[in-house]
C-alpha cells in the first residue's frame, strides 16, 4: 500500500514546475503540500500551494491555481481539480481508482506486508522503552512508556524498518543502596524470600519513612552503593538476587501486556563502559574537573555543566547513558535511537545528546527523546517513596473484571472459558487504548467509564465494530467475491474513501512519533463502517452486484482495522 498524498504531491510538483519553470526548487518544495480537508465537501485532498506561492510569484492565488491545474498531469486516480478561495486546489478521486484500491485491499493488506517508504531501511531503528526499575513493583505510571514504546516500535517495523527493542532496566544506582540497607536492617529473611517483590517495595517505602526522621540514613545508603560499585561480594550477591526476582515479576506483566523486547539490558551492563567513557572524555578534553574532584562536561549555551562523576568517584545515570550510546552505535550502527521516557527527563536527555555529540558517539545517528505526559488519577500524584503507587497488575485485574461484566451483559451464549478469555483481552486492550488514543504530549486522565464502554472512542467500540464485520463475512464465506466493486450508494462511496485514505495515518504517526494519529483514524473508520452498516444492507443487498461490492468493502475494512490494531498491540476479536 502506498501513501496517496505523497504521490499526489509528486504530481503537483510536476505541474508547478511546468507552469512556472522559473521557480527555484526550494520554493517549490516548501510550497507544495497535500492534505485531507476537514470538510469532505471540499474533495478528498487539497493543496494550499497557490497561497504559499503568491508572494514568490507576484500573482494572485486564483491565477496560480488556474495555471497549475491547466498543466496537471493526466492521472486516472484524479477525477477533477477545483479552485477554492482563498487559495486551495481541491482533488476529487475517481471512482475507478476507489474500485481498484478496494479490490487491492481485499487481497490482503496485512501487518506483514507493511508500507515501504523512501526512508533509509538499511540501518536499524532502536527503540528504548519501559525501562522500569528493578526492586519495585511496576506501577500504572509505567504503562505509558511500555505501551507507547511498543506501538512506536511496531509502527516503524510496519513502515519497513528493522527495529531493535530494548528495555533499559534500572538495575543500578543509589536506590539499591537504600534497598540493601533496608533489607539488612529491617528485613525478615523468610518473609523476603517468600514474597520478594512485595517486601522490596515495603522496605523501600520504610527506608524513606525512616530517613525523614533520620537524614543520616541517606549517607549510609550512599556508602552501601559505593560498596557495590567497588565490588563488595556479599552486597553484589544480594543485589543480583534482588534484580533476578524483580525481573521474573516484570516479565509476567510484559507477557500479559503482549509486549516483547529483543534485549532487557540493565544499567549495570554498562558499568565498565562508563569508566571507559570517563577516560575517553578526559583524553578528548570534553570532561574537566569540578568542585571536590567531581568530573563535569561544560555544554555551550547551557546554564549548568553536566555532572558525569561524583566527588566520591561513583558514576551517574548520565555516565552510563553515554556508555549506552557508544555501545549501541558501535554494535548496531543505527540510523535512530528513540528514547520513550516521560517529559520529566527532558534535561537529562538534552545533556546526554549534547555530550554524546561532543564525544563523537552520535555523528551519523539521530538521538530523539520521545517525551510524554503523565497519568493523572483522582487523589493526586503517585510516589513509590510514599507507597501509594497503584500497581499495574491491579489495574489490569480491575480492567478485566469490568470488561467481563460488560461482555456478560451483552453476550448470553458464550462458554464461560471464552467469556473469561474475552474479558482479559478486552480489559487489557481497553487500558492500552486509553493510553494510545491520546496525544502523548498531554497528561492522561484515566476514567473507567470512558475506557470500558461500547460507545465513544474506546477499545470495546473498535473491537465490536471488527467483530460485527467478521460476523458478516463468516456468514458469507462461500459467496463469490470476483470482479471489481461498483460503487453506487453514498454509504459505499463514503466508506471506500475512508479505506483509501486510511494508510495516510501511518505515515503521519511515524513522522510525528504519535500512535494516537492511528487511533483517531481508526475510530473515524469504524464510525464510517457503522454508518455504512446501518444504511447499506450487506447480506440482504438488493442485487448480486451490490452484494459483491459491499462484501468487498467489509473485507477491506477488516484488513485495515486488523493492521491498525496490531500496530497498537491489540488483538482483534472475531466475535463479541
Give per-residue pLDDT as tens, 546-556.
999 999 999 99
User: CATH code at 46?
Assistant: 3.30.1360.70
- Quick one: what percent of the chain has pLDDT higher than 90? 70
Question: CA nearest 452: which of 474, 467, 432, 476?
Answer: 432
Q: 313 and 185 in one domain?
A: yes
What local confidence, expressed as pLDDT, does residue 406 receive? 84
Look at residue 547 and tell me if it is in a domain. yes
For residues 368 and 471, membership in a common domain is answered with no
Under 8 Å CB-to-CB from 244, ≥6 apart: which residues?
A: none
Q: Same domain for 512 and 556?
A: yes
Mean pLDDT in residue range 503-530: 96
pLDDT digits (tens, 9 = 90+) for 367-413: 999 999 988 765 444 444 444 567 899 899 999 999 988 877 776 67
Domain boundary among 356, 376, 396: 376
- Rounded-to-integer distance, Cα 196 and Cα 199, Å: 5
> Backbone phi, then psi, for 288, in 5-degree steps?
-130, 160
Q: Round the average pLDDT of the chain to a whole number and report it.
A: 90
Q: 141 and 71 share a domain?
A: no
Is the domain of 467 the same as that of 332? no
Q: Mark whether 223 and 370 lie in a shared domain.
A: yes
Q: Is residue 271 part of a domain?
A: yes
Is residue 114 one of the residues assigned to a domain?
A: no
DSSP H or E run through 567: helix 544-567
- The enclosing H or E element of 80 equals strand 78-84
In this prediction, residue 388 carries a pLDDT of: 52
Residue 155 shares a structural domain with residue 85: no
DSSP line for 147-199: HHHHHHHHHHHHTT--EEEEE--B--SHHHHHHHHHHHHH--HHHHHHSHHHH
Same-domain status, 75 and 132: no
Each residue of 76-109: pLDDT tens digit? 999 999 999 999 999 999 999 999 888 888 766 5
Please answer whether residues 407 and 576 qualify as being in contact, where contact means their C-beta atoms are separated by less than 8 angstroms.
yes
* CA 199 to chain centroid: 33
* 205 shares a domain with 353: yes
With beta carbons less than 8 A apart as the criterion, state whether 61 and 87 touch.
yes
Per 3-state DSSP, the chain is made up of helix, strand and coil in percentages (nearest 5) of 55, 10, 35
In a domain, residue 48? The reply is yes
Spatial distance between the Cα atoms of 31 and 531, rounded to a whole number of angstroms: 37
Q: Is residue 346 part of a domain?
A: yes
Terminal CA-CA length for the chain? 30
For 202-226, how does the pLDDT look when each residue is reduced to its tens digit (9 = 90+)? 999 999 999 999 999 999 999 998 8
Q: What is the CATH number of the domain that holds 362?
A: 3.40.50.620
Quick: pLDDT tens for 161-174: 999 999 999 998 88
33 and 165: one domain? Answer: no
Query: In the numeric block, which cell numbers belong to residue 137?
Result: 513493583
Domain that holds residue 147: 128-376
The domain boundary, picked from 355, 376, 397, lies at 376
22 in a domain, yes or no?
yes
Is residue 549 assigned to a domain?
A: yes
Does any domain span residue 123? no
- For the chain, the domain total comes to 3
The listed range with the strongest mean pLDDT (171-175, 182-186, 472-476) is: 182-186
How far apart are the C-alpha atoms of 165 and 554, rounded to whole Å?
Answer: 34
Q: What is the pLDDT of residue 381?
A: 46
Helix (H) or strand (E) holding 166: strand 163-167
Amino acid at each position: 500500500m502506498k501513501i496517496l498524498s505523497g504521490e499526489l504531491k509528486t504530481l503537483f510538483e510536476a505541474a508547478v514546475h511546468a507552469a512556472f519553470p522559473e521557480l527555484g526548487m526550494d520554493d517549490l518544495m516548501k510550497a507544495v503540500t497535500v492534505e485531507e480537508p476537514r470538510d469532505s465537501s471540499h474533495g478528498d485532498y487539497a493543496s494550499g500551494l497557490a497561497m504559499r506561492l503568491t508572494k514568490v510569484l507576484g500573482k494572485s492565488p486564483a491565477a496560480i491555481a488556474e495555471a497549475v491545474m491547466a498543466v496537471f498531469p493526466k492521472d486516472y486516480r484524479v477525477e477533477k481539480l477545483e479552485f477554492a478561495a482563498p487559495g486551495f486546489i481541491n482533488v476529487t478521486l475517481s471512482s475507478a481508482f476507489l474500485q481498484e484500491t478496494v479490490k487491492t485491499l481485499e487481497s490482503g493488506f496485512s501487518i506483514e506486508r507493511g508500507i515501504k517508504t523512501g526512508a533509509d531501511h538499511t540501518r536499524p531503528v532502536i527503540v528504548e522503552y519501559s525501562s522500569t526499575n528493578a526492586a519495585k513493583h511496576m506501577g500504572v505510571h509505567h504503562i505509558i512508556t511500555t505501551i507507547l514504546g511498543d506501538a512506536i516500535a511496531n509502527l516503524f517495523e510496519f513502515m519497513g524498518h528493522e527495529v531493535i527493542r530494548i528495555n533499559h532496566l534500572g538495575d543500578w544506582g543509589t536506590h539499591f543502596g537504600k534497598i540493601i540497607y533496608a533489607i539488612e536492617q529491617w528485613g525478615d529473611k523468610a518473609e523476603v524470600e517468600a514474597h520478594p517483590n512485595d517486601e522490596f517495595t515495603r522496605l523501600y517505602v520504610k527506608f524513606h519513612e525512616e530517613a525523614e526522621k533520620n537524614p543520616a540514613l541517606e549517607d549510609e545508603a550512599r556508602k552501601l552503593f559505593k560498596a557495590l560499585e567497588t565490588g563488595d561480594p556479599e552486597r553484589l550477591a544480594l543485589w543480583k538476587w534482588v534484580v533476578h526476582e524483580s525481573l521474573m515479576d516484570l516479565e509476567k506483566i510484559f507477557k500479559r501486556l503482549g509486549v516483547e523486547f529483543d534485549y532487557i539490558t540493565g544499567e549495570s551492563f554498562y558499568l565498565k563502559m562508563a569508566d571507559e567513557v570517563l577516560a575517553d572524555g578526559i583524553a578528548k578534553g570534553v570532561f574537566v574537573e569540578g568542585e571536590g574532584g567531581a568530573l563535569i562536561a561544560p555544554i555551550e549555551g547551557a546554564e549548568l555543566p553536566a555532572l558525569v562523576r561524583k566527588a566520591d568517584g561513583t558514576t551517574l545515570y548520565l555516565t552510563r547513558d553515554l556508555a549506552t550510546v557508544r555501545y549501541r552505535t558501535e554494535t548496531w550502527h543505527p540510523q535512530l535511537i528513540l528514547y520513550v521516557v516521560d517529559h520529566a527527563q527532558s534535561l537529562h536527555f538534552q545533556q546526554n545528546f549534547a555530550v554524546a555529540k561532543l564525544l563523537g558517539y552520535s555523528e551519523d545517528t539521530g538521538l530523539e527523546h520521545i517525551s510524554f505526559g503523565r497519568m493523572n488519577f483522582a487523589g493526586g500524584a503517585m510516589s513509590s517513596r510514599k507507597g501509594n503507587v497503584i500497581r499495574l497488575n491491579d489495574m489490569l485485574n480491575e480492567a478485566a473484571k469490568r470488561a467481563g461484566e460488560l461482555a456478560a451483559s451483552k453476550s448470553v451464549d458464550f462458554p464461560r472459558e471464552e467469556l473469561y478469555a474475552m474479558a482479559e483481552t478486552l480489559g487489557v486492550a481497553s487500558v492500552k487504548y486509553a493510553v494510545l488514543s491520546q496525544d502523548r504530549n498531554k497528561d492522561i486522565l484515566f476514567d473507567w467509564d470512558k475506557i470500558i464502554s461500547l460507545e465513544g472512542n474506546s477499545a470495546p467500540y473498535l473491537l465490536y465494530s471488527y467483530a460485527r464485520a467478521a460476523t458478516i463475512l463468516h456468514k458469507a464465506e462461500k459467496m463469490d467475491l470476483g470482479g471489481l466493486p461498483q460503487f453506487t450508494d453514498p454509504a459505499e462511496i463514503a466508506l471506500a474513501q475512508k479505506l483509501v485514505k486510511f494508510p495516510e495515518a501511518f505515515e503521519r504517526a511515524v513522522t510525528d512519533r504519535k500512535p494516537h494519529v492511528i487511533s483517531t483514524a481508526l475510530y473515524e473508520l469504524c464510525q464510517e463502517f457503522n454508518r455504512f452498516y446501518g444504511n447499506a444492507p450487506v447480506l440482504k443487498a438488493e442485487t448480486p452486484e451490490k452484494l459483491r461490492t459491499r462484501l468487498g468493502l467489509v473485507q477491506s475494512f477488516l484488513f485495515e482495522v486488523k493492521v491498525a490494531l496490531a500496530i497498537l498491540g491489540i488483538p482483534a476479536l472475531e466475535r463479541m
